Chain A
Amino acid sequence: MSDRTDLLIVGAGPAGMAAAVTARRHGLSVRVVDDQPAPGGQIWRGIETVAATPRAKRLGESYLAGAERAAAFRACGADYESASQLWQIEPGFRAFVTRGGKARAVTAQAIILATGAQERPMPFPGWTLPGVLTVGAAQILLKTADSVPEQPVWIAGCGPLPLLYMTQLLAAGGRIAGFLDTTPRGRLGPALRHLPRGLGRLGDLMKGLSWSLALRRAGIPIIRHVTELRAEGEGRLQRLRYRTEAGQEAEVPAEVLLVHEGVVPNIHAPLALGCAVSWHAGQHCYVPVLDAWGETSQANIFVAGDGAGIGGAEAAEPRGRLAALRIAAKLGRLDDATAETAAAPERSALSSALALRPLLDAFYAPRPQLYAPPDETLVCRCEEVTAGELRARAVEGRPGPNQLKAFTRAGMGPCQGRQCGYTMAHIVAAAQGRSVEEVGFYRIRPPLKPVTLGELASLDEQEPAA
């Protein structure tokens, strides 16, 4: 296998797979690296093995749809490297990848970052206790390990994913202790203003409503407008305390608490590459600045999929194909007019897929308390830095997030700030009376994914410089 390729795609989820298939169709050599052991991304995780099992049905049709995508991807002729960690990309491009204990550099003319999204970090006291997981994590356990919480489970947060997971969990025979809905009061009105644009997606809305109805029919206790959460226990989650907007407080026994407050794009790779990002006020997160094809401010680096802004799998695929078309044109395999023609249906598919998004974004916008946790909350899980420490330091001379990182070690651990970056930005902003957008994010440094010194040392010494 040559270590030179026309196109390097990072991520084998919906966007990465669609991009690979399209790029191959136009004759590009394509390399796809992904840290998962099999294609599918998070939405179709484990699809190749799960599709043939009885539990596949329970997971729903949109999950099953991944099977044919994975098959098409496998057949497209791209060099696919699963279980590969990409830890750095240098201009040129040289991408450094580790697989099976060996590091090596891949040279590519264009790059598509299809690294998807992560769940929005949700700091509260006790969120580091064993027994507290994200809803996404529980859904992955259901998909790939057919595992459910042993005891009736508490679920807290908002967004479509908790509803979907609870429906899937009930279908699998799991039990739910209650749903702590963190959606603030009064969200429906502003959200409905976006309804006209979303009318074409009524089916999706109905699906969401049917999930809610199913939960109500199953008699799941739903506590609305929860503003505060606290997980407690000796060495593991044992109790859960919550408080609602109306001041209702309760303490309940709990073994597993699943949390979810929406998803945000993975921006570490674009940030490390110096791609411009901007604040997306609707989705309360940073998104890469992209042109209509998904090209970033750095020529020949593209972002597709949820990494380009949250849109779900249905938006990810056209985004992946658009990026691949543009790269095929840039590399001379396609003339611009043909690329434009091929892009038209993709753009309309993308626009349709995104039609409901503003309504969802408005309805499920993070509650104001989310990033203002009590002082004792660990903001940085890795280095164990509390909100109180960050607040105290944020007022001394009004430093930025990188200075605070240097002074407190918040963001210096193995997760590289993936779990504390947004909280840090909000705490600094609140303490200094600035906007989150102005405060900015951490400077992202390699490695983007873990790599050992031995793996680094194994890089070929004779490797020519780019």
Chain B
Amino acid sequence: MRPDIVVIGGGTVGAAIAYGLACKRQKVLLLDGDDGDFRAARANFGLVWLQGKGLGMPAYQALTRDSIALWRGFTEQLEAETALDLAYEQNGGLAFCLGEQAFEKRRLDLLRLHNQRGDDEPDWEMLDRSALERLLPKVTLGPDVAGASFGRRDGHANPLRLLAALHAGVLHHGGALRHRARVQRIERSGTDFKLVLDGETLTAPRIVIAAGLGSPELARQVGLDVPLRPERGQVLVTERLEPFLPLPASGLRQTSEGTVMIGATKDHSGFDVSTTGEAAARLSRKTVQIMPALAKVGLVRQWAGLRILTPDSYPIYAQSQSHPGAFVALCHSGVTLAAFHAEDLAAAIAAGALPERFSPFHQSRFDVPQAA
């Protein structure tokens, strides 16, 4: 099969775009990396999250809002096609506040964000301790918990199941998927792109680079300079427990399997994906401070992943001017934005042009003006 389009990167971002393209009857080939690659998609926390996002970048808040609005339908379709349960729940989400000061600061932060957007009906509120206790009847809160912010549109899903379903969905729609297919070089060949892999070459008229931290080197070869840096996030997961937490919180959620995910740290340690005892201790202390009963629960695994961060931490969506047909898509909220990637972004890529409303996310916002 000669693909219409090759998506380089089988993580949540690339797979969502590939899935969306396949749904739109494009002949898609999704190339995934090696088993031992960094793979932020396998380290994901699983929040489908709005509250607190987009301060200073209204377009990002709008994008997140759009994606969340699409999430339910996106999930239902994907689940029907793949028979995988994505465990998507949208019961709202919490951000716990330890101490009155933190509670007040959170309120002001969310108010600022709200004012940035305009005067719509707020979709968040601050819950004091007693309101929080009513919301979480099976939880005994630690004495320092002053309350929490509650975001009505927030939710969570199983990020690994989402990734598996996107891969299965690509196949379901007639696309092709290959693991351990590392692209070493991209060349122009007439109007096509020639992708040089280990021992073979592939050609396609269009490509999407969504290879996470491996993207800058590939993007450079099609005339796109994408500045990225890794930010390590460490996550803890516990043994399975009876359901006790009916909605997710920032940094603390109970999965549909019953495990509790705790995290994530934000460490600047280059490309180091090792985990640290210090982080495990810090995350545990904070968790036990919020819910003391979790002290008796066993840790099953601690892992680390690398977030894909741009200088302003917001996504990059761009088509190359020097190499039309080559797109790049990079972000660190691949789960929340998955519905948008599969629908609006994939539609734009299939149409061959990114619409004006994506322009705030063009990588040219990072171009340094040449000194006069």
- Are any A and B Cβ atoms less than 8 Å apart in their complex? yes
Asked if B365 is an interface residue, CB under 8 A from chain A, the answer is no
Task: State which residues 440-463 of A face B: CB under 8 Å.
Answer: 440, 443, 445-447, 450-454, 456-457, 459, 461, 463
Cα A383 to Cα B283 with chains together (Å): 25
Complex partner residue of A400 from B163, B164, B179, CB under 8 angstroms: B179
Asked if A386 is an interface residue, CB under 8 A from chain B, the answer is no
CB-CB < 8 A to A402: which residues of B?
35-36, 42
With contacts A96-B277, A407-B164, A446-B280 taken as known, whether A400 is within 8 angstroms of B300 at the C-beta atoms is no
Asked if B296 is an interface residue, CB under 8 A from chain A, the answer is yes
Asked if B297 is an interface residue, CB under 8 A from chain A, the answer is yes
- Is chain A's interface secondary structure helix, strand, loop, or mixed overall? loop
- Let me know if B34 and A400 touch, CB within 8 A: yes
Asked if A398 is an interface residue, CB under 8 A from chain B, the answer is yes
- Let me know if B177 and A396 touch, CB within 8 A: yes
- Let me know if A456 and B35 touch, CB within 8 A: no
- A446, A456, A465 pick with most chain B CB within 10 angstroms: A456
- Let me know if A453 and B294 touch, CB within 8 A: yes
Cα A105 to Cα B280 with chains together (Å): 12
Cβ distance A79 to chain B, nearest Cβ, rounded Å: 20
With contacts A396-B171, A440-B35 taken as known, whether A454 is within 8 angstroms of B296 at the C-beta atoms is yes
- Let me know if A453 and B297 touch, CB within 8 A: yes
CB-CB < 8 A to B288: which residues of A?
453-454, 457
Asked if B116 is an interface residue, CB under 8 A from chain A, the answer is no
- Let me know if A459 and B277 touch, CB within 8 A: yes
- Let me know if A397 and B167 touch, CB within 8 A: yes
Cα A103 to Cα B188 with chains together (Å): 57
With contacts A88-B277, A401-B35, A403-B179 taken as known, whether A451 is within 8 angstroms of B299 at the C-beta atoms is yes
Cβ distance B334 to chain A, nearest Cβ, rounded Å: 14
A34-42, A286-294, A408-416: which one contacts chain B? Answer: A408-416
Complex partner residue of A452 from B34, B283, B296, CB under 8 angstroms: B296
CB-CB < 8 A to A94: which residues of B?
277
Q: State the interface size on chain B (CB cutoff 8 A).
A: 45
Asked if B285 is an interface residue, CB under 8 A from chain A, the answer is yes
Asked if A204 is an interface residue, CB under 8 A from chain B, the answer is no
CB-CB < 8 A to B296: which residues of A?
452-454
CB-CB < 8 A to B285: which residues of A?
456-457, 461
CB-CB < 8 A to A446: which residues of B?
275, 277, 280, 301-302
- Let me know if B284 and A399 touch, CB within 8 A: no
Complex partner residue of A406 from B163, B171, B177, B295, CB under 8 angstroms: B163
Cα A407 to Cα B36 with chains together (Å): 15
Asked if A336 is an interface residue, CB under 8 A from chain B, the answer is no
Cα A461 to Cα B283 with chains together (Å): 12
Cβ distance B323 to chain A, nearest Cβ, rounded Å: 27
Asked if B145 is an interface residue, CB under 8 A from chain A, the answer is no
Task: State which residues 323-354 of A face B: CB under 8 Å.
Answer: none
Task: State which residues 247-297 of B face A: CB under 8 Å.
Answer: 257, 262, 274-278, 280-281, 283-285, 287-288, 294-297
With contacts A105-B277, A456-B284 taken as known, whether A414 is within 8 angstroms of B300 at the C-beta atoms is yes
CB-CB < 8 A to A403: which residues of B?
32, 35, 42, 179
Complex partner residue of B295 from A399, A447, A453, A461, CB under 8 angstroms: A453
- Let me know if B35 and A416 touch, CB within 8 A: no
Asked if A249 is an interface residue, CB under 8 A from chain B, the answer is no
A-B pair count, CB < 8 Å, reads 126
Asked if A90 is an interface residue, CB under 8 A from chain B, the answer is yes
Asked if B314 is an interface residue, CB under 8 A from chain A, the answer is no
- Let me know if A456 and B299 touch, CB within 8 A: yes
Q: Which A residue's beta carbon lies closest to that of B280?
A: A456
- Let me know if A465 and B281 touch, CB within 8 A: no
Q: Which A residue's beta carbon lies closest to that of B277?
A: A96
- Let me know if A453 and B299 touch, CB within 8 A: yes
- Let me know if B303 and A445 touch, CB within 8 A: yes
With contacts A407-B164, A457-B284 taken as known, whether A463 is within 8 angstroms of B278 at the C-beta atoms is yes
- Let me know if A397 and B179 touch, CB within 8 A: yes
- Let me know if B34 and A459 touch, CB within 8 A: no
Task: State which residues 148-193 of B face A: CB under 8 Å.
Answer: 160-161, 163-164, 167-168, 171, 177-180
CB-CB < 8 A to A459: which residues of B?
277-278, 280-281
CB-CB < 8 A to B295: which residues of A?
452-454, 457
Asked if B298 is an interface residue, CB under 8 A from chain A, the answer is yes
- Let me know if A452 and B299 touch, CB within 8 A: yes
- Let me know if B298 and A414 touch, CB within 8 A: yes
Cα A393 to Cα B287 with chains together (Å): 36
- Let me know if B35 and A452 touch, CB within 8 A: no
Asked if B239 is an interface residue, CB under 8 A from chain A, the answer is yes
Cβ distance B283 to chain A, nearest Cβ, rounded Å: 8
- Let me know if B168 and A396 touch, CB within 8 A: yes
Q: Which B residue's beta carbon lies closest to that of A91?
A: B274
Q: Which B residue's beta carbon lies closest to that of A459?
A: B281
Asked if B238 is an interface residue, CB under 8 A from chain A, the answer is yes
Complex partner residue of A416 from B236, B239, B301, CB under 8 angstroms: B301
For the complex with contacts A397-B32, A457-B284, 5 further pairs of A-B residues with Cβ separation under 8 Å are: A407-B160, A407-B161, A414-B298, A445-B301, A456-B283
10 A-B residue pairings within 8 Å (CB atoms): A88-B280, A96-B277, A402-B36, A403-B32, A416-B300, A445-B275, A447-B280, A450-B299, A451-B299, A456-B283
Give chain A's interface residues, CB within 8 Å of chain B: 88, 90-91, 94, 96, 103, 105, 274, 393, 396-403, 406-407, 409, 412-414, 416, 440, 443, 445-447, 450-454, 456-457, 459, 461, 463, 465
